[in-house]
Amino acid sequence: MKKLLLGDEAIAQGAIDAGLSGVYAYPGTPSTEITEYIQQNETARQRHLHSRWCTNEKTAMEAALGMSFMGKRALVCMKHVGLNVCADPFVNSGMTGVNGGLVVLVADDPSMHSSQDEQDSRFYGKFAMIPTFEPSNQQEAYDMMEAAFDYSEQQCLPVLMRVTTRMAHSRAVVRIKEAAREENPLNYNAKASNWVLLPANARRRNDLVTAQQTQLEADAETSSFNRLSLPTTSLTSEGERVPLGVITSGIAYNYVMEALAHRPNLSEEEEPNVSLLKISQYPLPKRLVRQLLDTCQRVLIVEEGQPFIEEQVRGVCENANILGRLTGELPRTGELTPDSVAKALGCPEHHTEGLQATASVILPRPPQLCQGCGHRDVYIALNEVLLDFEHPRVFGDIGCYTLGFLPPYKAIHSCVDMGASITMAKGAADAGQWPAVAVIGDSTFTHSGMTGLLDAVNEDADITIIISDNLTTAMTGGQDSAGTNKFEAICLGLGVNPAHVRVVVPLPKNMAEITRVLREEINYHGVSVIIPRRECIQTFKRHSKVKKG
Amino acid sequence: MKTDIVLCGVGGQGILSIATVIGEAAMAEELYIKQAEVHGMSQRGGDVQSNLRISDQPIHSDLIPHGAADLILSMEPMEALRYLPYLKPDGWVVTSCVPFVNIPNYPASDMLDAELARLPHVLSIDIERLAKDNAIPRSANIILLGAALHVIGIDAEALQDAVRRVFAAKGEAVVQANLKALSIGSEQIKG
């Protein structure tokens, strides 16, 4: 059967067809559509596969590990920075190993279309000693899911599958199986001596997993996902070399092929005079790399993200014949494009420069908070109240409301990672800052804000926390938010003084009340929580449509 | 055949449903397809674009190189101009002429018109007025698609069938409105 699927959807379909029993995830661009696809899939529904959103990536990773412990196949999905949140269970899952197949799918976001950094998750795979897969196209992503689950069970290790934005969010026709593999039955094969990471057990496991790396590398050498193609006709005599070799991986492989296909003076039959190694399974297959290096004068390394392969190929020995992001042939940071790759390969850029419009007519159009969004009313009120103070500081967080940094609001002074608004406000208050205000969304609060609130309560920090509750996770498109209807109870349970947990409705007509409440709570010297609560305008429109329909 | 299309507009204008219809038609025609979309932060009122490539030969890159696009299909005139570096020198621009003003310094519309007028193949249409006049207010984006029919390289019948399948779940009235939109759009080039 053929389907037109996003890379994310191909991964989801591949997981279901590989006998998945549960997906665990927190929404994060560009990984969100994997879990959404499974939530809506008919087979997944009939089989009651777990697909509810988790509170954060750490709870997701641990629950998936628990499912694997019982012998079933589990998938955990996240964006790259989510891997930082679950780094503890992720790295330790390399120590415990797995029982049922476990695939950790991480979607990196080079060029930071929707992110705070462009970290490359392949480094995590390497230091956790976990085998890593990296598909080049949607079909390979689909096929790789079954291979990854099988390999995970064969090696008793989790598999890290790394994709990037262009893979996750690009559609292509994918050939899929007619029927999904059966789920694994529950089993009790997981041994406590592997899963209880007391130092004595962990040391033994560490030796075993370290020794296992030789096997993982040998498997990468022969993996059907890693392909070495050498120009047979050009190398007539021993020791003769073609001018250029290319090592490439993931989505970058497509840009290389695009550029090579458009090289001038290359007839249909003529073989490209280039040695090419495509890597889609790690650890780095060193023998294949050496084989390629032996056939060419220079090698260009084209990979999406940070110079992961390039640094390993270069080793400690600077070699002028190894070219890539570290030598300036390719841009050091940011996403690759077909143009930057063609240039590095010495292929003339496609046609001419294309056309140009007068630069002054094309202005940047940054994203902004939607018309009618409750976060707007919160920032209008907050800005008005803070005019009372000489040096107010507002600590922001991750979500739509980060856009409050932009004009016309210019309302926040920091945004670092999920939950950092509350803890940074506390640190600032510890340093003597007043007023210190935290602005955090409902979903971000339950993801990573609650523990920080407990710290603040325990020291009665002089901070004002605004939990801007729109009843959903909106930047990623309106997924369920773990704490909906529970925020007052959570705050009271963590010990916030009930007199200083205040709820308002962020609407222009309520501006007088909102500013009054904000002013009172900023002037209260202790922890106060204000919850402006109104449904996200996007999900509200969607819900009204469903009601009408 | 091979057609590279840059679809663009402002987040929320419905460029992805245009892409869905073309993709559906291309799949039925057994063509190869690659369609890179933008999800996430930029969807909130920022500039958005999608690279859509269809071909009867395998397609490597998900992204269109500079100077290679056959068509810029845009829901907004300034956004059409933003992607000109991707257009072939003899490529087409088919765009809505109605500015979406959500930034304070938006350029004067005569400046935009002058820029568009310099291009060799351009069709700038008031799709919103056409949609209103023909009582199909929610189908402006499909009018735009119809206006680009002559560049896309897929038969009108195949696109009509795709519209039927894509909108079937929303009922016959929606299907008919969008078929009408496709037809109104395709008449624009003749005028």
Closest-CA distance, A366 to chain B, in angstroms, reads: 5
In angstroms, the CA A483 to CA A492 distance is: 14
CATH class of A374-540: alpha beta
* Domains along chain B with CATH numbers: 2-188 (3.40.920.10)
What proportion of chain B, given as a percentage, has pLDDT over 70? Answer: 97
Q: Which residues of A touch B106 (CB under 8 A)?
A: 363
Tokens at residue B98, please?
């109605």
Looking only at the bridges linking them, the beta strands covering B32-36 and B47-55 are antiparallel
pLDDT at position A264: 59
Find the closest chain A residue to B29 by CA distance.
Answer: A173
Q: What percent of chain A has pLDDT over 90?
A: 87
pLDDT, mean of residues A446-466: 98
A507 CB-side CA count, 13 A: 6
* For range A451-472, the mean pLDDT: 98
Average pLDDT estimate for A17-42: 97
| DSSP 3-state of A278 | strand
- Residue A60 to residue A63: CA distance in whole angstroms: 5
Q: Which helix (H) or strand (E) holds A386?
A: helix A374-386
Shared fold status for A2-178+201-222 and A227-232+240-350: yes
What confidence tier does A240 reach under pLDDT thresholds 50, 70, 90? confident
- Angle CA(A249)–CA(A83)–CA(A311) in degrees, nearest 5? 40
Q: Average pLDDT in the A507-527 region?
A: 98
Cis amide bond preceding A283, omega within 30: yes
DSSP B15: H
Query: For residue A236, what pLDDT band results from cuts at 50, 70 and 90?
Result: low
Res. A172: pLDDT tops 50: yes
Q: Where are the domains of chain A?
A: 2-178+201-222, 227-232+240-350, 374-540
**Average confidence (pLDDT) over A52-74:** 98
Are B18 and B142 contacting, i.e. CB atoms less than 8 angstroms apart?
A: yes
Which of B49, B55, B63, B90 to probe by mutation at the A interface, max A CB count within 10 Å?
A: B63
Q: List strands edge to edge, sheet with A159-164.
A: A20-25, A73-79, A102-108, A159-164, A132-133, A281-282
CB A393 within 8 A of CB A427: no
Cα(A121)–Cα(A161) distance, integer angstroms: 9
> Has residue A111 got a pLDDT over 80?
yes
Assigned CATH topology for domain A227-232+240-350: Rossmann fold (3.40.50)
Beta-bridge mates of residue A291: none
Residue in the structure block whose two tokens are 């064969």: A154
- Would the pLDDT of B40 be above 80? no
Query: Residue A447 in contact with residue A457, Cβ under 8 Å?
Result: no
Give me the sheet containing A227-229, strands edge to edge: A227-229, A274-279, A242-249, A296-302, A322-323
Strand partners, B123: B94
pLDDT in tens, B61-72: 999 999 999 999
CA distance B97 to chain A (A): 15
Beta bridge partners of A469: A533
Do A65 and A89 touch, CB atoms closer than 8 A?
yes
Tokens 């891997």 belong to which residue?
A83
How much is the pLDDT for B19?
94
Residue A432 phi/psi, 5° resolution? Answer: 110, 5
Q: What confidence category does residue B42 fall into, taking pLDDT thresholds of 50, 70 and 90?
A: low
Q: How high is the pLDDT of residue B11?
A: 85
Q: Give the strand pairing for A227-229 and A274-279.
A: antiparallel
The pLDDT tens digits for B52-97 are 999 999 999 999 999 999 999 999 999 999 999 999 999 999 999 9
pLDDT value of residue A268: 47
Answer yes or no: do A367 and B44 touch at CB < 8 A: yes
Segments in A191-299 forming alpha helices (H): 192-195, 199-222, 252-261, 286-293
Distance set, CA A193 to CA A101, A150, A277, A354, B58 (Å): 19, 23, 41, 63, 51
Alpha helix (H) residue ranges in B29-171? 77-82, 109-117, 127-133, 140-147, 149-152, 156-167
In the predicted model, what is the mean pLDDT of residues A455-461? 98
Q: Could you give the count of Cα atoms lying within 13 Å of B40 in the half-sphere of its Cβ? A: 20
Q: Which tokens go with A72?
A: 């079933």
- The tally of CA atoms less than 13 A away on the side-chain side of residue A352 is 9
The pLDDT value given to residue A486:
97
pLDDT tens profile A305-328: 999 999 999 987 777 799 999 999
Q: Is the pLDDT of residue A359 over 90?
A: no
| Higher local confidence (pLDDT), B11 or B79 | B79
Render pLDDT for B114-150 as a digit per residue (tens, 0 to 9): 999 999 999 999 999 999 999 999 999 999 999 999 9
A358: Cβ contacts below 8 Å, ≥ 6 apart: B111, B115
Residue A245 CA to residue A256 CA, distance in Å, equals 11
CA angle B41, B46, B50 (to 5 degrees): 85
Quote the Cα angle for B147-A354-A251, to 5°.
Answer: 90
The answer to whether residue A354 scores a pLDDT higher than 70 is no
Q: Which residues of A touch B63 (CB under 8 A)?
A: 166, 255, 337-338
Q: Quick check: B154 pLDDT over 70?
A: yes
CA neighbor of B147 nearest in space, from B94, B96, B191? B94
Q: Which of B31, B55, B61 to mutate to test the interface with A (most CBs of A within 10 A)?
A: B61
Q: What is the pTM of this model?
A: 0.93
- Is some CB atom of chain B closer than 8 A to the CB atom of A40? no
A379-435 pLDDT per residue, tens: 999 999 999 999 999 999 999 999 999 999 999 999 999 999 999 999 999 999 999
Contact of A338 with chain B, judged by CB distance below 8 Å, is answered with yes
pLDDT band at B39; cut points 50, 70, 90 = confident
Q: Of B38, B68, B105, which has the smallest distance from its Cβ to A351's Cβ?
A: B68
Number of residues that this document lists for chain B: 191
For chain A, give the mean pLDDT: 94
Residue B16, number of CB atoms within 10 A of its CB: 18
CATH class of A2-178+201-222: alpha beta
CB contact under 8 A, A113 and B42: yes
**Are A231 and A272 contacting, i.e. CB atoms less than 8 angstroms apart?**
yes
CB proximity B76 to A under 8 Å: no
